[in-house]
Amino acid sequence: MTLQSEIHVHRHGAVGHISLNRPKAINALTQDMCEAMADTLLEWRNDDAITAIILDHAEGRGFCAGGDVQLVRRSALEDDGAAGRAFFRAEYRLNHMMFTYSKPIIAFMDGVTMGGGVGISQPCKFRVATENTMFAMPEGSIGLFPDVGAGWYLPRLPGQLGRFLGLTGARLDGAECLWAGLATHYVSAADVAEAKAHIIETPHDIDAALRSLMPSPAPDARLAGNAASIDKLFAPDTLEGILAALEADGSDWANKELKAVASKCPTTCKVALRQLAADAPDFAANMALEYRIAARMLMRHDFIEGVRAVLVDKDGAPQWHPSTPEAVTEAMLDAIFAPLPDGEEWTPLA
């Protein structure tokens, strides 16, 4: 498949339109796709005839399932991670450009929206969920960490919801995304085409175009019923403390989430907790920190093993090393978060 077929670029009057089209991979992002999107946005940023941008997917069952982690794994095994680092550099530059973009971008999170899909939807001023939305940050299952800006977005969610999502990899539906603030609007999947048409007709009032199609009242968010438990049981500052709180609670819900957290890579979980507490001064600083982490995590046994277990052999039985939270030391975390050598740090696009 050529790059031109993986990214469709259109113009509808004053509205630019980017559609991801890699359906067999649920539109997982490659470096070329990230760079093509960045180039398009740079062109439209300086084009006075473009006032807004629609971002969606052309085909398949999901908006974007993430980044091409199998490519990154091969890089770790074959070229000392060079191609993997180049991918993360390009992806994070796209994330940062979108976060600082001067024109409104409307992301349609219809279907699977995970990992890298979160990274290209959360920076958008308008984030539209549907009943098909399946939102998650599942990096703990593959020994990576919640990246693509998660260190900025997750701590800003209500209560301890960010920790909950980062540690459990929980999947949220569209109504839950709206309740949590991860989506700004909710429409029926059957109305998505009409919503885009309204935006193209009235790009000066995107909010009204979307709200005209929102159900009233909004669908119930199941997760709201567990908000108090999330705030209580995910409040401890350590992974060991959170696991102990979940175990001590003993409810069916707590036992389910205990199993979810305990199955994830212990190093990933501890990295996530430190990352979410980092309090970067701005989004660029957050992305620079995430790049440091990514550059180290992609070369670790846990990432290579996690992708093997989930996506290559698909046995669902990763062997983490270290295998317990207690064995993940502060010195190990310090090394993962440490500055990179001169000339290797991440920087935004000019």
Catalytic residue selected from 6, 35, 110, 139:
139
List strands edge to edge, sheet with 15-20: 7-12, 15-20, 52-57, 105-109, 126-129, 185-186
3-state secondary structure the chain: CCHHHHEEEEEECCEEEEEECCHHHCCCECHHHHHHHHHHHHHHHCCCCCCEEEEEECCCCEEECCECHHHHHHHHHHCCCHHHHHHHHHHHHHHHHHHCCCCCEEEEECCEEECHHHHCCCCCCEEEECCCCEEECCHHHHCCCCCCCHHHHHHHCCCCHHHHHHHHCCCECHHHHHHHCCCCEECCHHHHHHHHHHHHHCCCCHHHHHHCCCCCCCCCCHHHHHHHHHHHHCCCCCHHHHHHHHHHHCCHHHHHHHHHHHHCCHHHHHHHHHHHCCCCCCHHHHHHHHHHHHHHHCCCHHHHHHHHHHHHCCCCCCCCCCCCHHHCCHHHHHHHHCCCCCCCCCCCCC
67 among known catalytic residues: yes
* HSE toward the beta carbon, residue 88, CA cutoff 13 A: 30
Catalytic residue selected from 6, 147, 176, 302:
147
Strands 134-136 and 112-114: parallel
Catalytic residue selected from 62, 67, 84, 140:
67
Environment class of 350 (CB within 10 Å of its CB; exposed 0-12, middle 13-18, buried 19+): exposed
147 among known catalytic residues: yes
258 vs 119: CA distance, rounded Å: 27
Catalytic residue selected from 116, 119, 162, 306:
116
119 among known catalytic residues: no
Give bridge partners of residue 64 from the DSSP assignment: 113
314 vs 306: CA distance, rounded Å: 10
Residues designated as active site: 67, 116, 139, 147
